[in-house]
Amino acid sequence: MKKIGVIGAGSWGTALALVLSGKGHKVKIWDVDSQHLDELEQNRENMRYLPDIKFNDDLQVGMTLEETMNGADVILFSAPAQHFRSALENAEPYLKQDMLLVNVAKGIEQKTLLRMSEIALQRLPEARYVVLSGPSHAEEVGRSLPTTVAVASQDLKLAEEAQEIFMTERFRVYTTEDVVGVELGGALKNIIALGAGISDGMGFGDNAKAALMTRGLAEIKRLGIKLGADPATFAGLTGVGDLIVTCTSMHSRNRRCGIMIGEGMDPKQATEKVGMVVEGMFTTEAAYDLAKREGVEMPITDQLYQVIKGRANAKDAVELLMGRDKKHEQG
């Protein structure tokens, strides 16, 4: 059994801490919000983000970052994507060379347009780094409902090490070396989930959502291939699998936010009403810039960007997408 420090006590960090502690690992969870930590310690559950699931004895609350990381074999980063850099910087003084670093944030950093692994390996070139991603709502994982994910690392042995640590009878883990594909699939599907929510909010049917998901996957794949991903990854858990679960479930913050926008709410107000980080709002802007930089056509991302920026309403965006020039499906 391992000693594991979890940085970030949102719903996903808490769910994974429950999986790991349930397997017998000694887990400490920490968050930058000290009031939240006090609540976790007092209630022995995450009433704010993942209520009604009690912590077991192997899951403890770390009151400082140093305490949480001291002696740990594994550090799990579960900060929102736009805060991963600062979380890593704060953790650096306590990192040891033999620690396994597992990141579960799904996003692209704004301005730099870097993926999470690029940030990590830019700062820590020798880090033992893996990314965990896939179709996995925290609300289900925390309750031990069957879930399957993938772990990726450029070093397959590190991915296999993480696989061994995380895998249980209810949490199945596959390995891959395609870090680029796994990270892009996890990040970009949030954009399409926003669009799926908007479609639902406008009262469109299953046909429209199926088309949006399918064509959304096509543009995710185009950008992924341009950046060096394995095309097969997008047909797997971290591609189409994650896309399906995020576009169809009310657990999805991105879809819920999109529904409110489709119903006519201002995008900023919709984000605030969700009450948690809506990664797709940030990723849409980053992906829009990344697509322009790489010369990749991403029409759905483009139109969602216009909606988020207030340059178009949802109805106009749909009309522009439906009125595009004829083309071959595989083009």
Dihedral sign computed on CA atoms, order 299, 316, 191, 243:
negative
Torsion angles phi and psi, residue 102, rounded to 5: -115, 120
User: Diameter of the chain by CA atoms?
Assistant: 60
Q: Is 3 tagged catalytic? A: no
Pairing, β 50-54 against β 3-7: unpaired
Q: Which ranges constitute the DSSP H helices of 154-252?
A: 156-166, 179-201, 206-226, 242-248
- Burial of residue 322 (number of CB atoms within 10 Å: 0-12, 13-18, 19+): exposed
Residue 102 in 3-state DSSP? strand
Which of 189, 209, 221, 273 does the annotation list as catalytic? 189
Contact 323, 215 (CB under 8 A): no
Residue 52 CB coordination number (10 Å)? 9
Active site amino acids: 189
